[in-house]
Chain A
Amino acid sequence: MVISPRDADDARMSTLDVRVWRGGAEGSFQSFEVPRHESQTVLDVVTHIQRVLEPALAYRFACRVGMCGSCAMTVNGVARWTCRTHVDQVAADGSLEIAPLRNLPVIRDLVADMREFFHKWAAARGAFAPTRTKRDDFARVAPESAARRAIDAAIECIGCGVCYGSCDVVTWNPDYLGPAALNRAWTLVQDVRDGARGERLAAVAGDAGCQACHTHLSCTERCPKGISPTAGIAGLKRAVAAAALRGKL
């Protein structure tokens, strides 16, 4: 039988060579062959491996539709939300390398320990501090105001950690609060209803805070929600500088 180039192409595209991280901090990549499907996502690939080839594989997901932020992994070296990353986008040559998110301790296989990531949200004063009670009238915030627009641009964060796993400053300084926590703090600094502005600016100033950002833009490049933590961090730098000049820090 003569194999036309087209058939050879189809045969190659009908399976994927997948290398998956196994183990914790120490470990190695294990190879799997996974059938190729149309519109297949990277999360589909991992799920196939766990259901059919290796039931002991540990990974994390919940919503499958880009809302919960639990499925982030390092795919061919780049942090991504796997449930909304199509194999077509990232595996042009039919091979995938799937590893846990960078910059976080690995619990097992593809599961990173997210605790420090969320502790840093708390450290950056990521919780809203209300100034009104239910007996007060609603706060009126004009949708077209600059502050509201700045919040709109930053508020859709799903807490996936893709930015955190992409940021070199987090690698270099493990205390750095990181793009997501600072982005969250920025939305609250812009929020006229919030009552903890001073404490929050104090919490995000300094070597482990917004001033540590090197403006690499990796977070902005990779955030699946199109958020630019770099822009929020720049805003925090200005707000911190202004507060310091007025002697309020």
Chain B
Amino acid sequence: MRRGNDLRARNHPGYWAFVVHRVSGLALAAFLPLHFWALGRALEGAGRLESFLRWTDQPLVKFAEWGIVLLLAAHFAGGLRILALEFLSWRDWQKSLAAVAAAFSLAAALAFALGL
């Protein structure tokens, strides 16, 4: 029998970057069926899409959309971070990479929220 670690050992930037990448990936995967369902409605006719799009104008739904953009940006930036870690020769700036990824995701989500 051997024991693994608890959160005290995991609490560092590289691990948090991993958690954000994994959670955003799972959340996006959960969102995909909804996305395809919405696209499916478009195929069924403009009217049905129209009513769906009106539904998406509600503030709560708008807020959720903002969350999805944040997730997408975070997952995208996390992926770039991994690619940089694995393919570029690097040593000392790995923590900065996590910070850059976080900053990029927030910037993308903000840009969306402000309707840029």
Chain B binds chain A: yes
* Residues in A lying within 8 Å of B, measured CB to CB: 25-26, 74, 76-79, 102-106, 153, 165-166, 168, 171, 174, 214-218, 220-222, 228, 230-231, 234, 237-238
Contacts of B87 in A (CB 8 A): 234, 238
A161 to B90, CA, bound (A): 23
Give, as a whole number of angstroms, the nearest-CB distance from A100 to chain B.
9
Q: Is the CB of A218 within 8 A of B86?
A: no
7 example contacts (A-B, Cβ-Cβ < 8 A) are as follows A74-B9, A77-B6, A77-B7, A218-B9, A221-B15, A222-B9, A230-B85
Contacts of A106 in B (CB 8 A): 1-2
Query: Does B63 count as interface, using CB distance less than 8 angstroms?
Result: no
Contacts of B35 in A (CB 8 A): none
Q: Is the CB of B4 within 8 A of A102?
A: yes
Given contacts A102-B4, A105-B1, A234-B85, contact A77 B9 (CB under 8 A): yes
Report how many residues on chain B are interfacial, defined by Cβ distance under 8 Å: 24
- Chain B contacts with A in 51-98, Cβ cutoff 8 A: 82, 85-87, 89-91, 94
Q: Is the CB of A104 within 8 A of B2?
A: yes
Q: Which 7 A-B residue pairs are closest in the complex by CB-CB distance?
A: A217-B14, A77-B8, A171-B4, A25-B1, A234-B86, A221-B12, A216-B18
A228 to B95, CA, bound (A): 12
Q: Is the CB of B86 within 8 A of A220?
A: no
Q: Is the CB of B2 within 8 A of A168?
A: no
Contacts of A171 in B (CB 8 A): 2, 4-5
Q: Is the CB of A78 within 8 A of B15?
A: no
Given contacts A215-B18, A238-B86, contact A25 B5 (CB under 8 A): no
Q: Is the CB of B4 within 8 A of A168?
A: yes
Give, as a whole number of angstroms, the nearest-CB distance from B13 to chain A.
8
Give, as a whole number of angstroms, the nearest-CB distance from A221 to chain B.
5
CB-nearest residue of chain B to A113? B2
Given contacts A217-B94, A230-B85, A238-B87, contact A105 B2 (CB under 8 A): yes
